[in-house]
Amino acid sequence: MPPDIPGKVTGEIKYAEDYKREGMIFARLLTSPMPSGRVANIDASDALRMDGVIGIMTADDLPPSPPPGNPALASEYITFVGQPILAVAAVSEEIAEEAISRIRVDIERKDFVIDPLESLAPGGPKAYPEGNVLLRTREIGPGGTPIMSAEIKDIKWPQSAIDALREGKEPVGAEFPSEWAFGDLEAGFAQSTHIIEEPFVTIGYPHHSLEPRTSMAYWENGKCYFHGSSQSQSANDNGLARMLNIDPANLVFINEATGGGFGSKIGPYPYMAISGNFSRMLNRPVQLRITREQEFYLGSARSGMQGWIKIGVKDNGKVAAVDLVIVNDGGSTGGGSGSSSAQHVTIAYQPESMRFRGISVYTNTTPRGAQRGPGQNEMAAVLAPISDKIATSINMDRVAFRRVNVADSDGFQGGSRGPLTSAFGREALDQGARLFGWDEKINQPKRNGSKVRGVGVGIGYHGAGGRGYDGLVRIAPDGKLHIHSGVGNLGTYSYAGTSRAAAEALQVEWDNCEIHRGRTDNHLPHSSGQGGSNTMFTHGRANWVAAQDAITKLKEIAASELGGSPEDFEIGGERVFKSSDSTQGLSYAEAAQKAIEMGGKYSGMEYPDDINPITQRAVQGIQGTGLVGVSKDKIPGQGQPPGIQVGFCEIEMDLDTGKYEILNYAAVADCGTVVHPKNFENAMRGGAVWGVGLAGLERHVYDPQNGLPANVGLYQSKPPTYLDISTDTNMSAVNIPDPQNPIGARGIGEPTQGASAAALASAIADALDGHVFNTAPVTTDMIINHLAGNTYSTQTPNLKTNTF
C-alpha cells in the first residue's frame, strides 16, 4: 500500500492550498479579457484604498520576460484570453476579488489569430507583432557547449501551399523549420504497391487538473518556503530558485500531494513567480489560489495538429515509405509536438524510409505544453483509422497489419533511428487479440436494428525512461532503511514503487522502510521531472544503484569489524554476514552504528564528486546519522526504453443518434516488469479514460470572430465522466523484463491514453464501414452529420481547428 493513500481517503493529506501560515494573505489575479493587445494603463488607486488590501503586483515588479518567454504577468504582450496582468493581495480572497473589480486596465487591442494556417497565409494575422513561429535554435558556444535558445520568426507560406494542405494534399513550396528524413523516400514509394494520402486535424484541449494550481510562499531567515502544486519535487529546485533570484540552497519546496498535472506541472511554471516574489515584497505569507476558469486559461493545453500523411505499403503489408507534414498549433507559447507525433509513426510502422516536415505556429489561444503523450497520442488517434484503411486496401487483417510493422527489440524510434532497450509490440498484439477475442468479434454480426457494432485496435507509445540521476538511502542505527526520494507525487505512486527497488536490493522488509519525500528539507536527491512516463525506469535504477553503494559499504564495514575481505560477505535478513559462516555478521543496525563511528564515505561525510549539487546538499543534511548509500546512475547501456501499449475496443453505435457506448476495452502493455499490479491497472484505466476524451470528447472551441474561448466550463469541455466510459475493462501486460533496468520496469503512463484513443477511433471507423474522419476528437455531431450525409462537420480537408 502506498503510504500516502490513507491520507487521500480521509482528506488528511495536504495540497498546497490546504496550508495556512500566521499572517497569511490571499492573492488573486486580474486577467486579460481579450486575446491580443498591450496594457496601456493600470489605475489601481480605488483598489489600493480599500480596507484589507495589502498590495498589488504587476509585470514591473518581476524581471522582464520578453517574447518568446511566457511571462507570469503580461504588459507589453497580451497573447491569450485569461493571461494574468496583475495580482492583488488582501486579507481575504473576497476582498482581493473585490479590489480587482475596482481596478481599471486600459488595453490596446491587437490583431489575433486562432487558426495556424490562417497565420501562415500571405498577409495573415500573427499572434506576436514580431512573427508567428517559434524557432528553437542550437548553437555551439565556447568549449563546445551547446547554447539552446529560441526566437520568434515570421514565416508565410504561398497561398497555394495553404490551399493544398486544406484540400488534403502536399503543401508544395512551404517552409518548415523542423525536418528530418531517413532511407530513400522516392524508392520507397516506387516499391509500394499501395499508396494513400490523407489529411488530418487534431484539436488541443486543456489538462483540467482538478486542483487549480495553488501556491503559498513565505520567507524566514533568507529562505523561501514554497508550497507548490507540481508533478515533480527536486526537478523544481533550480528553476524556481531562479524565478525567486535565490540560491537553490535557500529554497524549501514543499509538495506533499498534487491535484493532477498530466504534463502541465512537470517543472516550475511562470505563475509560481507571483506568490514567491509577492511574499518577499510584502513580507507576508502569500497564497495564490487560482479559479477554475483561470486553470483553463493558463493551465496549459495539448497542441493541435493540421497535417498530411502519405503512406506507401508493399503487398506483404510492410510500410515502405511515409511522408509526413505537421503544422502544430502552438497556442500563445508556440511549442508543438510534431516530431513526437512523427516518432509515434516510426514505432507503429518501422518504415523503411520516412520524411517529416514540421512547423509550430503561434495562435492567440491558451499556452500549450506537454500533455500526456504529447504528439504521440493525438497521432495515434488519427493514424489508427488510416492504418485500418491501408490494411483493408490490401485485404489484410487490421491486427496482422500492425503486427508486420510494429517495433521489436531490434527496432528504432524517431528520425535518428535510435535504438530501443527492448520492445515487444508483437507479443502485446498477440496477447491483446486473445484477451479481447479479436477473431470472434470481427466475425460477429455487425448490425442489429439501428445499432451497429464496431471493433478497433490501436497502438500507443512514448519514450519511458531516462538515465543519470541520483539515488540516496540511509540505514539508521535502529536498523531502519530510509529511502530519500526526489520524485514528485502526481498520483502514480511511483515514488513508492521505485523506492521498493532499494528495499528489495537491500532485502529489507517494506515495513522497516521509511520514504522521505515531499519537501526539500527532507534531504531529497536530484531527480528527473515526473513526466514522460519515465519514473519507473529512471528512479528504479537510481534507487538500485544507491542500494548497491550501501551494500558495498555494509560489506566493507563487516570486513573491517570481523576480518576477511568484503567479497567474503553477503546480505540477507537485514544482516551482513560471512558467506562461509552466517553466524558471523552484523545487523544493519550495528553496521549503521559502525558507519557513524567510521565516518568518511560510510556516514556521508564524504560523497562522490559526480552527484548533482542537489544531492550533495541532501547528503550534507543527513551525514553522520547512519550508513549512507548514494550514487549516480551510471548503469551501462544505450537506447530509449519504450513504453508500448496495444488497445482493443468494441463499441455499439446508435445510427439514429450517432451516440456510441463502449462495450469492451482490453489493453496489453509492454512496459517490462510490472512492479505493482494494482497501481499498474489503475494507471492503465486512467489512461484509457483519457483516450476516450482525446478520441471522442475534448477539444478547444473558440469564437473565431472575437477569439474568445467558448467552452471554459468542465461540462462544456467534456472530460469523460463515469457515464462516458466502459467500466468493464481488462488490463494486462507482456511482463518481459527490460534488460537495462535492474528491476526490469519501463514506464507506461502515457501510452495508456494513446492506445485507448487509437482503438476507439478505429472502432468508430469500423462501425461506419471504414469511414475515416481524420480528426480527433470525433464527436457525436460529426458522426450524426456523416450519417445524415451532411458534410459540414465531417469534411476534413478544410482542417478546421479550435472551432467547428
Partner 1 sequence: MNSRLTRRRFIKGVIFSGAAASTGASFYLANAQSGQSSAERLVTLNINGRNRPVDVLPQETLAHTLRYKLDLTGTKLGCNRGECGACTVLIDEVPNYSCSVLTHNVKGKTVTTIEGIKAADGTLHAVQQAFIDENSPQCGFCTPGQVMSAVALLRSNPRPTRKEALQAMSGNLYRCGAYEHYLNGVMRASGQLA
Residues in 717-736 at the binding interface with partner 1, rule: CB under 8 A = 719-723, 725, 727-729
Q: Is 1 helix (H, G, I), strand (E, B) or coil?
A: coil
Query: Which helix (H) or strand (E) element contains residue 198?
Result: strand 194-202
Report the amino acid identity of residue 155: I
The candidate with the shortest Cα–Cα distance to 672, out of 500, 527, 464, 494, is 464
**Residue 746 neighbours by CB distance under 10 Å:** 32
Q: Residues 642-671: x/- map of binding to partner 1 (CB under 8 A)?
A: ------------------------------
Q: Which three cell numbers stand for residue 529?
A: 521531472
Least distance (Å) from partner 1 to the CB of residue 95? 5
User: By rule CB under 8 A, what string of x and - marks binding of each residue 37-56 to partner 1?
Assistant: --------------xx----
Least distance CB 601 / partner 1 (angstroms)? 39
Q: Which of 423, 470, 407, 432 is nearest to 684 (CA)?
A: 432
Q: Report if residue 138 touches partner 1, rule: CB under 8 A.
A: no
Give the residue with the Cβ less far from partner 1, 685 or 786.
685
- We find the least distance from the C-beta atom of residue 518 to partner 1, in angstroms, to be 13
Minimum distance of partner 1 from residue 491's CB (angstroms): 3
Around Cβ 463, how many Cβ atoms within 10 Å?
26
Residue type for position 559: A
Sorted by sequence, the CB contacts under 8 Å of residue 278 that are 6+ apart come out as 27, 55, 57, 87, 89, 217, 286, 288
Q: In the set 67, 82, 228, 260, which binds partner 1 (CB under 8 A)?
A: 260
Quote the crossing angle between the two packed helices 376-393 and 398-405, to the nearest 10°.
120
Of the pair 95, 406, the CB lying nearest partner 1 is at 95
- The residue from 320, 423, 614, 689 that contacts partner 1 (CB under 8 A) is 689
Smaller CB separation from partner 1, 584 or 679: 679
Residue 329's φ and ψ, nearest 5 degrees, are -85, 105
In the bound state with partner 1, the residue whose beta carbon lies nearer, of 11 and 141, is: 11
Q: Decide if residue 584 touches partner 1 (CB under 8 A).
A: no
For partner 1, give the closer residue by CB, 620 or 730.
730
Question: Which residue of 120, 161, 174, 257 would you call a contact of partner 1, by CB under 8 A?
Answer: 257
686 scored as a contact of partner 1 (CB under 8 A): yes
Q: 468 and 775 in contact (C-beta within 8 Å)?
A: no
Which stretch of DSSP H or E encloses residue 515?
strand 513-516
Of 400, 309, 202, 288, nearest in space to 802 by CA: 202
What binding mask, one character per residue, do residues 486-505 give for partner 1 by CB under 8 A, x or -?
A: ----xxx-------------
Q: Is 10 in the site for partner 1 (CB under 8 A)?
A: yes
Site for partner 1 in 273-312 (CB under 8 A): 289, 291-293
Given the C-alpha cell 494494482, which residue does it identify?
678
Does the footprint of partner 1 cover residue 517 (CB under 8 A)?
A: no
- Among 55, 212, 276, 525, the residue binding partner 1 under the rule CB under 8 A is 212
Distance (Å) of CA 554 to CA 542, 557, 669: 19, 5, 38
* Closest listed residue to residue 602, CA positions, set 548, 550, 525: 550
Minimum CB distance to partner 1 smaller for 178 or for 756: 756
Point out which span in 119-127, 484-492, 508-516, 759-767 binds partner 1 (CB under 8 A). Answer: 484-492
Instruction: Decide: helix, strand or coil at residue 445.
Output: coil
Question: Stretches 160-168, 238-246, 516-524, 708-716: which one binds partner 1 (CB under 8 A)?
Answer: 708-716
Q: How many residues bind partner 1 (CB under 8 A)?
A: 66
| H-state helical runs in 746-792 | 751-767, 780-787
Q: Does 715 bind partner 1 (CB under 8 A)?
A: yes
Q: Which of 116, 228, 261, 285 binds partner 1 (CB under 8 A)?
A: 261
Residue with cell 456523416: 786
Task: Output the smallest distance, CB 409 to partner 1, in A.
Answer: 30
1 near partner 1, judged by CB under 8 A: yes
Site membership for partner 1, residue 210 (CB under 8 A): yes
According to the binding rule CB under 8 A, does residue 23 interact with partner 1? no
- Given 20, 49, 109, 434, the residue binding partner 1 (CB under 8 A): 20
- For position 511 contacting partner 1 by CB under 8 A, the verdict is no
Q: Does 33 bind partner 1 (CB under 8 A)?
A: no
Q: Three-class SS string for 592-626?
A: HHHHHHHCHHHHCCCCCCCCCHHHHHHHHHHCCCC
554 Cβ neighbours under 8 A, 6+ residues apart = 475, 569, 571, 576, 586, 588, 591, 627
Binder to partner 1 among 61, 98, 179, 781 (CB under 8 A)?
98
Q: Give residue 331's region: left, alpha or beta (phi > 0; psi -120 to 50).
A: left
Locate 159 and state its grid cell. 497561398
Q: Let me know: does 602 contact 225? Beta carbons within 8 Å.
A: no
> Given the complex with partner 1, which of 637 and 677 has the nearer CB atom?
677
- Angle between helix 425-436 and 398-405 (nearest 10): 160
- Should residue 197 be labelled a site residue for partner 1 when binding is judged by CB under 8 A? no
Which listed range, 37-45, 497-505, 555-563, 707-715, lies at the site for partner 1 (CB under 8 A)?
Answer: 707-715
Q: Where are the beta strands (DSSP E) in 94-153?
A: 104-109, 133-140, 146-153
Output the smallest distance, CB 456 to partner 1, in A: 19
Q: Does residue 93 bind partner 1 (CB under 8 A)?
A: yes
The answer to whether residue 354 forms part of the interface with partner 1 (CB under 8 A) is no
**Nearer to partner 1 by C-beta: 35 or 212?**
212
Which residues in this chain contact partner 1 in the complex, by CB under 8 A? Answer: 1, 4-15, 17-18, 20, 51-52, 92-95, 97-98, 101, 208-212, 257-262, 289, 291-293, 490-492, 678-679, 681-683, 685-690, 713-715, 719-723, 725, 727-729
